[in-house]
């Protein structure tokens, strides 16, 4: 099968999924309207009223992990082509990637020693 054909099929699946969703929405709509009542549109907060909007600054406690994640995720992009040709290249491939991974792993250890691997 041609690569282009494959991606057309994938795109078709996306369209079909949207169609399925639309169908469910139509069935749902045909079964009745929502009654408009005061206070019904409040977000759930265990019975408490929620006056302020939720879209404000939020302290993500894991930004250290997030930075580390970026470094490792970039590296994974190189790992996949390497993994495919690994057996062909043999020992050279193991040493090359071992060196690369070793440096990255040192970065992880360094972050750990600087107590970056905990809730900030």
Residue ranges that bind another protein, judged by CB under 8 A: 1, 3, 6, 9-10, 13-14, 17-18, 20-21, 24-25, 27-29, 31-32, 34-35, 40-46, 50, 53-55, 58, 60-62, 65-66, 68-69, 72-73, 76, 79-80, 83-88, 90-91, 93-94, 97-98, 101, 105, 108, 112, 117-119
* For another protein, the closer CB: 27 or 114: 27
Q: Using alpha carbons, list the distances in angstroms from residue 97 to 9, 20, 37, 110.
A: 36, 45, 63, 20
Residue 51 has which token pair? 């006056």
Contacts of 107 by beta carbon, 8 Å cutoff, 6+ apart: 68, 71
Residue 103 has which token pair? 């440096």
Q: How far is the CB of 94 from another protein (least distance, A)?
A: 5
């Amino acid at each position: 099968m041609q690569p282009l054909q494959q991606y057309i099929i994938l795109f078709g699946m996306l369209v079909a999924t949207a169609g399925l969703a639309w169908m469910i929405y139509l069935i749902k709509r045909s079964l009745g309207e929502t009654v408009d009542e005061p206070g019904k549109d409040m977000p759930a907060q265990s019975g408490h009223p929620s006056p302020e909007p939720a879209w404000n600054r939020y302290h993500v406690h894991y930004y250290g992990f997030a930075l580390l994640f970026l470094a490792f995720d970039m590296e994974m992009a190189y790992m996949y082509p390497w993994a495919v040709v690994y057996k062909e290249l043999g020992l050279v491939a193991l040493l090359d990637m071992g060196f690369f991974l070793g440096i990255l792993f040192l970065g992880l250890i360094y972050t750990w020693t600087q107590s970056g691997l905990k809730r900030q």
